[in-house]
Structure 1
Amino acid sequence: MFCSSLLFCVGLGTLAKYAVGSDLWCYNEHCESNPSHWADLAGSFCGGSKQSPINIKTNHAEKDNSLTDFMFVNFSSNQVIQSIQNNGHTVKCNLKKNQVEVSGGGLDGTYYALQFHFHWGKLGDRHSGSEHTLDGERLPMEMHIVTMKKGLDVEEAKKDPQGFAVLAFFINETENGDVSGPWEKLTSNVPNDQVTEEPKLDISINDLIGDVNLSMFYRYMGSFTTPDCNEAVAWTVFREPIKVNKKLIERFPSKAGFNNVFRPVQNLAGRQVFASPATPLPPTGPWCYGDDDDDPHHHQCEYIPPKWYRLYKSYCDGEHQSPINIETKNIVVDEHLDDFTFTKFDDNNAITTITNTGHTVKCSLKEGEVEVSGGGLGHVYSTLQFHFHWGDTSGTPGSEHAVDSKKYPMEMHIVNKRKDLSLANAIKTPNGLAVLGFFIEATTSTKSSSSSSDAETHPSPSSDNGAWEKLTNHLSAIKSIKTVVNVTEGISIDDLLGSVNRRAYYRYNGSLTTPSCNEAVVWTVFKETVKVDKKLMDMFPSQMEYSKVNRPKQDLHGRTVYRTTSASGAPGPVMLFLLPASLAAFLFKCHL
């Protein structure tokens, strides 16, 4: 790269004086020092935790009102391009010293523009070329304008996390765009050898940017994208692409003599991507379970389960999602899954309100009184609420989980939060939530807890239908969505569960089963079913006037499901995995 009299290493590498030699690294997967080996190069920072480029998930970006409009100096001048260079890795346009400046846009000061260069893919492949991707989509090219903070020398800038600022523009191809304007002039001068030339390019940076909306952009902290990958870059990635005629885009690989000059996307590693105020963010809803012609609340809803991942702050496309199909042949016995301790599950005054959320019936509990511990959880959990999933009155099963592909008429979820965590922190922690899942079926049938040879068969005991009658008597008062009523009759959780065996259960790590699908849940699914009169069960779909409120099963993605072996055993560790962050309010809006 060009800075005063020094040359920067190509792409987004640092200064050649300090960087790995350009002949020691490459993009080609068939050469020895390709991107997967850049971290092994001497003096390289390419194995760091703040590397670039990244995939920008627009639904995970946070609005930042400090990302105001930029101020550009001499971006409209057609006298600032000093030379054009082919260095074997990119085509780079060096700018005249101290003439082009960038400030504003939430940057940490004023920056001198040093050069701009390009990344592209393979000739004729419009889906390979950009370094950054937007919601997983890669565009044909990307242009980077490299700037350095004013007042710093190179060594100081390298030590500053925002010592450099790079403006990144996606470039998309058009079939019939202009072939005689500034991009034609630029591409006509692409050197076909590794040389630096000084042609008269009477074009400006603004000429190349065109009519891109410069108020819509994303910001994150990262690195240069070539060795030695210093983590000293404040990245600005503009949302709208520059549109360039396909024939002119093809001149870059054809004239330069090389292709696929882009680094693969890097792990975000917990960094936050921010969006400028003008950048549109994905919607927050409404979401639903399906487009059911018989369900007026779901009809013509856009965000059905396969599209939940598009919602703002959604993690519904993660690899540890729930519910799942529990295949008993693959279950591992875990002796650490001991008996639970249920505190105040027998309290018939613990339930305070019943709510029609529009997606379920939710029963809220007195804060800080009902608790769950033991069961291999390793922590004490405060019980927040319980709610239900159901099918329809015609017999369509409504449970979310299944055992050996068998689903049940209903499923009850008791939601618990780790007592030592706030709700905001619990949904950011892999075992921050613990949910107890109980299958529900009619009293007239018997339940085989598993169809596999390793599972025992039990006739499931009935619950207290009197408690269920008290509960369902409230449903007629909450027919309107968002209606909340107080519970005045005594109903305990123990009354609803009856004498179901709570020693026999399955365990796995998963997620909430509605948006935002946070992967923060230790799941317990009990083998035996709770038995309830069918007429009482049918009151849920008939009184609420919506049905089939269950998420389809999700892929296991290599997770292990465990089961109990005896009534006792020392508490063991809970399986952990990484969890992305989300907002605390989602837990109360979304029900498992």
Structure 2
Amino acid sequence: MHFGNMKLVILLVSLAVVARAEWSYSGASGPDFWALEYPACSKARQSPVQIMHEEAIADDDLNSFRFHGYDDIQTLDNLTVWNDGYTVTVRVHGDLAIEGGGLEGMYALQHFHFHWGSTDRFGSEHFLDGEAYPLEMHLVHKTVRHRKIAAALEDPKGLAVLGVFAKIGRPHPYFQAIIDNLRLLDIGDYANVRPFPMSELLPGNRETYYRYNGSLTTPPCSESVVWTVFREPIEISEEQIEQVRMLSKISNVTDNYRPIQSLNGRRIFVRNQPATSVYGAKESINNPSGDAALPLASLFLILAPLVAAVLKFNYTCMDGRWFLTCSKGLAVLGVFAKIGRPHPYFQAIIDNLRLLDIGDYANVRPFPMSELLPGNRETYYRYNGSLTTPPCSESVVWTVFREPIEISEEQIEQVRMLSKISNVTDNYRPIQSLNGRRIFVRNQPATSVYGAKESINNPSGDAALPLASLFLILAPLVAAVLKY
């Protein structure tokens, strides 16, 4: 930890004390009185707002974001956590930026901070369908059109802020890295945090988001923000939110969220509008022909321990059962799993393994299949190959994602317990020769997603990547296909 020199600490503390005398979140200097000192706080395009999904307008002009440097710690010089007396602010020293997402040009990441409540019922500044989350993170980006933040604050599109909700669930290791030293930070104190990929703080689904024009949610309330609020939350644990709340004992920071502001005729837009909630409400999934909907009635427990392998049929090859003889009849997504934090949806699959003898099955309560995919689905490898089990049909277009999901040591041990029931263990096929085939890569990263520098062959296929450690279990799925 690094706490600046004495003069700097005194200066920061003095500035924080002066600032706290001007406004707060309660009493005579609370939100109802901010406009007395900051007139913009009473204008018509203020934030935060209530977001009602059914009232949001689908906008085809809202496209995918492009995140520059978010997956690469080499672009980060340093992260500095600061207790400014109002929130936890993390200054980002490095070259990170976003574009796309319906924004006009590129916006550079300046910092991110948090808003939270004293209970789990409140804390987020934005509400979604009448509900608040315990915490909300704001990633503040400044347009590269302006060199100084003062100029950006005068521009209606000077800032682009990404709002990310947090719900209570499994612990978040990178959030933990930020909050580890909070109990030591008095007002004005700061600490350095070891850089990590900023993409780890974003939700897995970055395609569904809400958009509106608004303001800063704290004084001076400048109406200079293009707001993006992601629909899908990240997860943090109850213990982690309690660590954040401990700041109330140091600097009286608690319930640091501004009340909902009126839309005053503004419209909220949505990208990639889902039919229903992404949090478990019953949904239907359209089949590729669009003729009918397939309900998520029941998922049959299929034993695929280390990798989520998804089969998709190529309908141009569908002629009876002959997709297995078509060179591109199957598309398989390969997802690695590394040991880390527990995965709740993987747990739902393996909970009953110890009860399943050969041929047995169990129903699993449906969940969003996207939860089994990695957060970064933009970087992947592609080659033409085969099934990894008999009949070894060379009918597969392989996609192997670079980023793994995480499962815990306890969860992989649960899978290994199958060896006591049906002698299923080490069920991976040895590496096969490329025999002149080429492997292609999309969105080639400069370095490894794990932090160690690596080289990756370019899409021209001048060199070959070894098919190292691809533990794919396809036998159950193929058996189901062969009965088609």
TM-score (norm 1): 0.41
The 3-state SS of whatever aligns with 1:39 is helix
Q: Distance in 2 between matches of 1:113 and 1:232?
A: 15
Is residue 139 of structure 2 the alignment partner of residue 145 of structure 1?
A: yes
Shift of 1:206: 1.4
| Identity level (%) | 34
Given candidates 16, 31, 34, the residue that maps to 1:35 is: 31
Q: Distance in 2 between matches of 1:80 and 1:69?
A: 27
Q: How does 1:189-208 map to 2 (within 5 A)?
A: 189-190=181-182, 191-208=184-201
Q: Distance in 1 between matches of 2:35 and 2:276?
A: 35
1:182 and 1:203 in contact (8 A); partners too: yes
Residue of structure 1 equivalent to 2:336? none
2:208 and 2:273 in contact (8 A); partners too: yes
Q: Distance in 1 between matches of 2:114 and 2:246?
A: 14
Shift of 1:22: 4.3
Q: Distance in 1 between matches of 2:144 and 2:175?
A: 29
Q: Distance in 1 between matches of 2:275 and 2:32?
A: 33
Given candidates 104, 107, 129, the residue that maps to 1:108 is: 104
Q: How does 1:418-433 map to 2 (within 5 A)?
A: none
Shift of 1:54: 0.2
Q: Distance in 2 between matches of 1:73 and 1:172?
A: 26
Residue of structure 1 equivalent to 2:54? 59
Higher helix share: 2
Q: Distance in 2 between matches of 1:282 and 1:184?
A: 32
The 3-state SS of whatever aligns with 2:193 is coil
Residue of structure 2 equivalent to 1:259? 254
Give unmatched runs, 5+ long, in structure 2. 1-14, 278-484
Residue of structure 2 equivalent to 1:178? 171
- Give the residue type in structure 1 aligned to 2:134: P
Shift of 1:154: 2.7
1:121 and 1:260 in contact (8 A); partners too: yes
Given candidates 180, 184, 191, the residue that maps to 1:188 is: 180
Instruction: For residues 180-232 of structure 1, give each alpha carbon's deviation from its aligned partner in whole angstroms, at most 9, with x where no partner exists.
Output: x22222210225311342423232221222x5200110000000000110001
Residue of structure 1 equivalent to 2:478? none
Aligned residues: 255
Given candidates 267, 273, 276, the residue that maps to 1:272 is: 267
Residue of structure 1 equivalent to 2:6? none
The 3-state SS of whatever aligns with 2:244 is helix
Q: Which has the larger radius of gyration?
A: 1
Q: Label 1:23 to 1:212 Cα distance change in 2 as closer, same or farther (>3 A).
A: farther
Residue of structure 2 equivalent to 1:25? 23
Instruction: For residues 42-74 of structure 1, give each alpha carbon's deviation from its aligned partner in whole angstroms, at most 9, with x where no partner exists.
Output: x43000000000000111110111110001111
RMSD value, Cα: 2.1
Q: How does 1:277-356 map to 2 (within 5 A)?
A: 278-281=272-275
1:121 and 1:130 in contact (8 A); partners too: yes
Q: Distance in 2 between matches of 1:55 and 1:137?
A: 9
Instruction: For residues 341-366 of structure 1, give each alpha carbon's deviation from its aligned partner in whole angstroms, at most 9, with x where no partner exists.
Output: xxxxxxxxxxxxxxxxxxxxxxxxxx
1:70 and 1:104 in contact (8 A); partners too: yes
- Give the residue type in structure 1 aligned to 2:216: F
Q: Distance in 1 between matches of 2:151 and 2:188?
A: 30
- Give the residue type in structure 2 aligned to 1:106: G
Q: Distance in 2 between matches of 1:142 and 1:69?
A: 22
- Give the residue type in structure 1 aligned to 2:92: L
Q: Label 1:64 to 1:80 Cα distance change in 2 as closer, same or farther (>3 A).
A: farther
Residue of structure 1 equivalent to 2:129? 135
Shift of 1:259: 1.0
Instruction: For residues 5-27 of structure 1, give each alpha carbon's deviation from its aligned partner in whole angstroms, at most 9, with x where no partner exists.
Output: xxxxxxxxxxx99xx94430001
The 3-state SS of whatever aligns with 1:46 is helix
Shift of 1:233: 0.3
Q: Distance in 2 between matches of 1:205 and 1:114?
A: 12
The 3-state SS of whatever aligns with 1:45 is helix
Q: Label 1:178 to 1:156 Cα distance change in 2 as closer, same or farther (>3 A).
A: closer
Q: Distance in 1 between matches of 2:70 and 2:181?
A: 20
Is residue 88 of structure 2 the alignment partner of residue 95 of structure 1?
A: no
